[in-house]
Structure 1
Amino acid sequence: MSAGVVEQAGQAGLREGAFGNAVALACRECGARTDLGPSYACPECFGPLEVAYSYPAVTRAEIEAGPRNIWRYKALLPVPADIEARPNTEPGFTRLLGASHLGAELGIAELWVKDDSTNPTNSFKDRVVACALSAARELGSKVFACPSTGNLANAVAAAGARAGIKTVVFIPANLEQPKQVNSAIFTDNLVAVDGNYDDVNKLAQEIAAEEDGWAFVNVNVRPFYAEGSKTLGFEIAEQLGWRLPDQIVIPVASGSQLTKVDKAFKELIELGLVEEKPYRVFGAQATGCNPVATAFKAGVDAIRPVKPDTIAKSLAIGNPADGIYVLDAARRTGGAVEEVSDDEIRAGIVLLARTEGIFTETAGGTTVAVTKKLVETGLLDPERETVIINTGHGLKTLDAVSGSVGPAATIAPSYDAFLAAGISPA
């Protein structure tokens, strides 16, 4: 930190180095900088804030010597140097799987799946929550909270339990039952709200404005929270042998994950950790919640909010905060934002399971189905190395496919009955 930032941190009661190599919050619109703290809107133009850094020299060897979780990249995150010593769920460094069978089905020569379903609460949200939890601790927050479409609620509740901080999580009342249970098991403060995610998010913003000591991970500490998604980009590059893929397909809800993976790739290039090369970023949405895909296809910059109506509830954000930045990343890199129907999403879930043995939730089904569509429409080059991100486990969204799969036959316990059923793997 610079001397000025240390002084400001001291005035706020923060310890030196509380946010690692982060030096300020910078506006993504006008570039104005403000002090590190629980802020998410620029005081000059009300644009969104993100973390700015003054990075030291970082080497591949230093990163590789770190723990096999996201803290191996702590020098590139807004967290203190002693983050590993503080109780947390230690997410990250999930597997990057070669997906040759799925690639053959889709006609992609070299395909990888970044499988984040193996995180502590079985979704990528553990990454962002870990960074938000660090900020909440340093800021002295008494309550750790979030509005959520499910996966985030699971991650916040679990991380709060691990850290010993009170948690309150807010969800739409019609959320999938498995996701509700996966939150309620960790906290007795699961609050179901009659409305969609945008209604829940609005309520959270009101509470954050009125209540002291509440850290809403995706509201007042959102700049710190969002940085956790960069670790997906860092890991993919490292697991590919410190190089960037040619193409990457990422599901879009708020759009933060896609924009931060793009940010990660740019930072790796700037730090000399990977060789600079062109890469293309693609976004995946459901037709029942497609505001970014609609804007991309129309060639406009404004995102028109929609009322979500899709089985992909983890992507059901009708007014995505980072939507315009998703458009920028896709257009700047030569990518696209595409959409698929609920039936295509179900088919995508089954296809990934039966080709690669990965059971994905509806967001992952969306990504697989969009990848298929991108190949068919010629937007994605099947000869280029491609990575798709699986953000969560299918056990969280069983209802989506429970009517599509089941027993091939019900037979008596005899060999003759087996023969009569005509069961054959061919």
Structure 2
Amino acid sequence: MTKETAVPATHLSCTRCGNELQLEGIGACPRCFGPLEPVYDMDGLRRTLTHRSIEAGPPSLWRYAPLLPVHVPDEPRLAPGLTPLVPATRLAAHLGIAELYLKLDTANPTHSFKDRVVAVACAKARELGLETLACSSTGNLANAVAARAAVEGLDAVVFCPYDLEREKLVATAAYGARIYAVRGSYDDCSRLTVELSFELPWGFVNVGLRSYYAEGSKTVAYEVAEQLGWEQPDVVVCPVASGSLLSKVGRGFRDFRELGLVSGSAPRLVGAQAVGCSPVATAFAEDRPVKPVRPDTIARSLAIGSPADGDAAIAATRESGGSIHAVAEQEIGENMALLAETAGVFGETAAGVTLGALREAIRRGEIGAADRVVLLVTGDGLKTPGPVADRFAPIDIPADADALLAELGIAV
């Protein structure tokens, strides 16, 4: 992967050793194997990027193109982003806080935030002349890769754990992807794709294209700030799988502060993991680096036992003055139901975990009644209905209106 094109970013930089590289399809620093991040000309952007120029852009993540490391596609197809930010008044009252907003990335084309990162990764894949998009996935990324490949006329190959929820993989198959069910965990899938990335001319979005892919998550923060009238919230609550989303959301708000597009203190970041797969939450609590674990959780979209960006997520959280919490497995379904019953939003298991972390942060006094809070709903509950399936208990009645009225105690 060596094709070079002029893009808003100037180069890649290793966050660990500072090594600088060209904008190529490389997933880790060849010197120290540290993560790579695109670097932008922030001085130039301060002169040209304004509220007005952003607002004049397309109604998608491509309105933030100057802060993304790829060219905007000539014909942006199925463009994700600019998803709703809605007040959750009844849920806020239930939790005892004044202001709560839900960022509904369920409104993206395949109903998760993964459409953002894949759109950016695919743009880079096209620049590099690649004809196949590939990934390891816990489900949502498989959907996003398959749909993006379909609309762009590319081939799609996904590697998923063999026992992943059928609801997720049926959609992936419908988009025409080739699915490999790997006899192992997500971490086995990830290791396999890293090995294959050296052998196959495919665009592995979360391996060789990861430096570009991860940048798509920054647009969540950009949108929240814009949708709040160019203001930052006090708190953002975010699920943690690999750790990339949380750290990049923090980076997104920092970008806007550095560019003078927002002012004030950084939002406190609150991370959320399930107890059955909580390597980042445990490392945060014990003030040490992340150690791999074997996942055993119903929150399959968060079941990454060896999170590549776990330490980065911890660093971003500490810098913001936030916290990371592990949520009990039995509370995940309860929180999914609470979100649905009070806000009319059916989020997947990750949303149940995220709401659980918000509740724990409130219980510990980390979030006050006057805080303006944004909770990220990153995936749709229709993909993972199992934890709330016990609530489906329809009442069997005859097709007789009088009988129902009588049961309701209404005189006919």
Asked if TM exceeds 0.5, the reply is yes
Q: Are 2:248 and 1:260 aligned?
A: yes
- 2:278 maps to which of 283, 290, 294: 290
Report the alpha carbon displacement of residue 420 of structure 1 after superposing the two structures with TM. Answer: 6.2
Report the alpha carbon displacement of residue 64 of structure 1 after superposing the two structures with TM. Answer: 0.2
Q: Matched residues, percent identical?
A: 48
Q: Mean alpha-carbon deviation: is it higher for 384-393 or for 276-285?
A: 276-285
Report if the CA contact (8 A) 1:292-1:327 is conserved: yes
Provide, for residues 63-93 of structure 1, a one-character-per-residue CA deviation record: whole Å limited to 9, x for no partner: 000110000000110121xx24235320000
Q: Where do residues 209-224 of structure 1 align in structure 2 (5 Å cutoff)?
A: 209-211=198-200, 213-224=201-212
The amino acid across from 2:50 in the alignment is: T
Tell me the distance in 1 between the aligned counterparts of 2:9 and 2:326.
36
SS in 2 for 1:306: coil
Report if the CA contact (8 A) 1:88-1:130 is conserved: no
Aligned CA distance change for structure 1 residues 273 and 174 (closer, same or farther; 3 Å) = same
Aligned CA distance change for structure 1 residues 33 and 249 (closer, same or farther; 3 Å) = same
Name the structure 2 match of 1:365. 352
- 2:88 maps to which of 95, 99, 105: 99
Report if the CA contact (8 A) 1:168-1:187 is conserved: no
SS in 1 for 2:175: coil
SS in 2 for 1:74: helix
Name the structure 2 match of 1:338. 325
SS in 1 for 2:103: strand
The amino acid across from 1:125 in the alignment is: K
Tell me the distance in 2 between the aligned counterparts of 1:217 and 1:35.
18
Q: Are 2:121 and 1:135 aligned?
A: no
The size of the alignment, in residue pairs, is 406
Q: Where do residues 1-400 of structure 1 align in structure 2 (5 Å cutoff)?
A: 12-15=2-5, 17=6, 20-55=7-42, 56=45, 57-80=48-71, 83-211=72-200, 213-300=201-288, 302-400=289-387
Provide, for residues 293-339 of structure 1, a one-character-per-residue CA deviation record: whole Å limited to 9, x for no partner: 11111122x11111111111000000101100111111111110001
Name the structure 2 match of 1:5. none
Tell me the distance in 2 between the aligned counterparts of 1:422 and 1:152.
47
Report the alpha carbon displacement of residue 411 of structure 1 after superposing the two structures with TM. Answer: 2.3
Report if the CA contact (8 A) 1:409-1:421 is conserved: no
Tell me the distance in 1 between the aligned counterparts of 2:274 and 2:246.
15
Tell me the distance in 2 between the aligned counterparts of 1:247 and 1:147.
31
Aligned CA distance change for structure 1 residues 172 and 21 (closer, same or farther; 3 Å) = same
Question: Which structure 1 residue ranges, 4+ long, deviate > 6 Å from structure 2?
Answer: none
Tell me the distance in 2 between the aligned counterparts of 1:146 and 1:45.
24
SS in 1 for 2:115: helix
Report the alpha carbon displacement of residue 44 of structure 1 after superposing the two structures with TM. Answer: 2.3
Q: Mean alpha-carbon deviation: is it higher for 378-387 or for 115-124?
A: 378-387
What are the ranges of 5 or more consecutive residues in structure 1 without an aligned counterpart?
1-8
Q: Mean alpha-carbon deviation: is it higher for 224-233 or for 47-56?
A: 47-56
Report if the CA contact (8 A) 1:361-1:395 is conserved: yes
Aligned CA distance change for structure 1 residues 408 and 186 (closer, same or farther; 3 Å) = closer
Q: Please report the TM-score for the alignment, with normalisation by the length of structure 1.
A: 0.92
Tell me the distance in 1 between the aligned counterparts of 2:369 and 2:235.
10
Report the alpha carbon displacement of residue 397 of structure 1 after superposing the two structures with TM. Answer: 0.6
Provide, for residues 370-417 of structure 1, a one-character-per-residue CA deviation record: whole Å limited to 9, x for no partner: 111211122222321000000011111122221x21135222333454
The amino acid across from 1:108 in the alignment is: I
Provide, for residues 9-51 of structure 1, a one-character-per-residue CA deviation record: whole Å limited to 9, x for no partner: 9xx4434x2xx21111111112221111111211222211111
Tell me the distance in 1 between the aligned counterparts of 2:181 and 2:77.
26
Name the structure 2 match of 1:418. 404
Provide, for residues 322-362 of structure 1, a one-character-per-residue CA deviation record: whole Å limited to 9, x for no partner: 10011111111111000112221101110111111111001
SS in 2 for 1:168: strand
- 2:392 maps to which of 406, 409, 418: 406
Report the alpha carbon displacement of residue 209 of structure 1 after superposing the two structures with TM. Answer: 1.2
Aligned CA distance change for structure 1 residues 421 and 240 (closer, same or farther; 3 Å) = same
SS in 2 for 1:174: coil
Q: CA RMSD in A?
A: 1.6
Provide, for residues 190-243 of structure 1, a one-character-per-residue CA deviation record: whole Å limited to 9, x for no partner: 1111111000000000100122x2110000110000000000000000000001
SS in 2 for 1:409: coil
Q: Please report the TM-score for the alignment, with normalisation by the length of structure 2.
A: 0.95
The amino acid across from 2:386 in the alignment is: D
The amino acid across from 2:238 in the alignment is: I
SS in 2 for 1:85: coil
Tell me the distance in 1 between the aligned counterparts of 2:341 and 2:240.
24
Report if the CA contact (8 A) 1:347-1:369 is conserved: no
The amino acid across from 1:328 in the alignment is: A
Report if the CA contact (8 A) 1:411-1:421 is conserved: no
Report the alpha carbon displacement of residue 97 of structure 1 after superposing the two structures with TM. Answer: 0.3
Tell me the distance in 2 between the aligned counterparts of 1:342 and 1:130.
32
Tell me the distance in 2 between the aligned counterparts of 1:411 and 1:282.
46
SS in 1 for 2:385: helix
Tell me the distance in 1 between the aligned counterparts of 2:279 and 2:134.
27
Aligned CA distance change for structure 1 residues 398 and 63 (closer, same or farther; 3 Å) = same
SS in 1 for 2:195: helix
Tell me the distance in 2 between the aligned counterparts of 1:241 and 1:415.
50
Report if the CA contact (8 A) 1:340-1:366 is conserved: yes
Aligned CA distance change for structure 1 residues 421 and 364 (closer, same or farther; 3 Å) = farther
Tell me the distance in 2 between the aligned counterparts of 1:61 and 1:408.
51
The amino acid across from 1:66 in the alignment is: G
SS in 2 for 1:75: helix
